[in-house]
Amino acid sequence: MKLLKKLITKPQIFKRTIGLSLDQFKMYAKSLTPIWRQAEQKRKLRAIRYRKIGGGRQYNCKTIEEMLAIVFLYYKSYWTQEFIGALFDLDQSNVSRLLKKMLPLIEKAADPELAIYLQQAKIEFAQISPNQRINNWRDFLEKHPDLREVSIDATEQQCYRSSDYQTQKLYYSGKQKCHSLKTQIAVSVSGRILDVSETVPGSMHDKKLIDAEETIFKFPQQTVQRLDSGYQGLVKSHPKFYIITPHKKPHKQELSPLAKELNKAHSKRRVIVENVLSRIKKFRILSGLYRGDINDYNQVFRNVAALNNLKLATRMAVAA
């Protein structure tokens, strides 16, 4: 494809357009190739398939790089499928089918640990004797440094108003003054996304979401969990966990100088989750109005989160 060939010759423009550097893109394409082939083989051999393998009109995309360029351009720019199809000499239906096929594969190739990391780490921690957990905590952190401290927050994105009254009422966010989708993430000090919640209607409160997801219990008790003022009450309801929230100003009183300093220090540590949310929203599919099927939104969010982790991992590998 002419557009992809032209972008490859200009690495800086490639990165701003696609969302990944050229090296990251090539590395990702290599890791996705076996996953794509396996998924395609499974699709073609499914029992309900009527057409013989090889039948039908062929894609103009002949390489995995061309397919990824379309998917990443859609995520990064969030242009209409018709416009992206015109750029790559494809029909809108071809672009739509490609996006649908790639939807469950992006996360698997970008960060396969995103879905299982916390669960596996919690199992390892549970195997340590309760009497030895304090002594072995340092050894545990050497293997899982991202579990030393995490920051948790939720984000909302506007979606279309449903024509059904009860549904639109459920998705209406009084805070955002629009119909929205809410997703919660947990981020380590390094900026790695450790957990992505299910997506819920925007009317659900942040505290209700964290309780429904049981996010607090996903981490060891010694892990520092930093949250904003919207999660008041979690410290009292989970006394065995190391939870930090800002000090709330007493009614008709001022915060003490010590409380102000503690809040300031807390905000400086917790800002990492805000920075990560800003990074993932540079993919315009997660900012502004979401036009797609809300049933696919959570997987789209997870895909972008996994790409964020991929970019972080490659930067850290280069720095090392």
pLDDT tens-digit readout, 91-134: 999 999 999 999 999 999 999 999 999 999 988 888 877 766 65
- Residue 225, helix vs strand vs coil: strand
Structure tokens at 22: 């050229």
**Is residue 23 scored above 70 in pLDDT?**
yes
Please give the Cα distance from 170 to 159 (Å, whole number).
Answer: 12
pLDDT at 48: 76
- Residue 54, helix vs strand vs coil: coil
- Residues 135, 262, 245: CA angle, nearest 5 degrees: 70
Asked if 189 contacts 172 with a C-beta cutoff of 8 angstroms, the reply is: no
Neighbours of 205 (CB within 10 A): 15
Single pTM value for the model = 0.93
pLDDT at 251: 85
* Tens-digit pLDDT profile for residues 54-92: 666 666 777 899 999 999 999 999 999 999 999 988 999
Please give the biggest Cα pair distance in the chain: 75
pLDDT at 56: 63
Structure tokens at 292: 């797609």
pLDDT at 133: 63
What would the mean pLDDT of 241-250 be, rounded to a whole number?
92
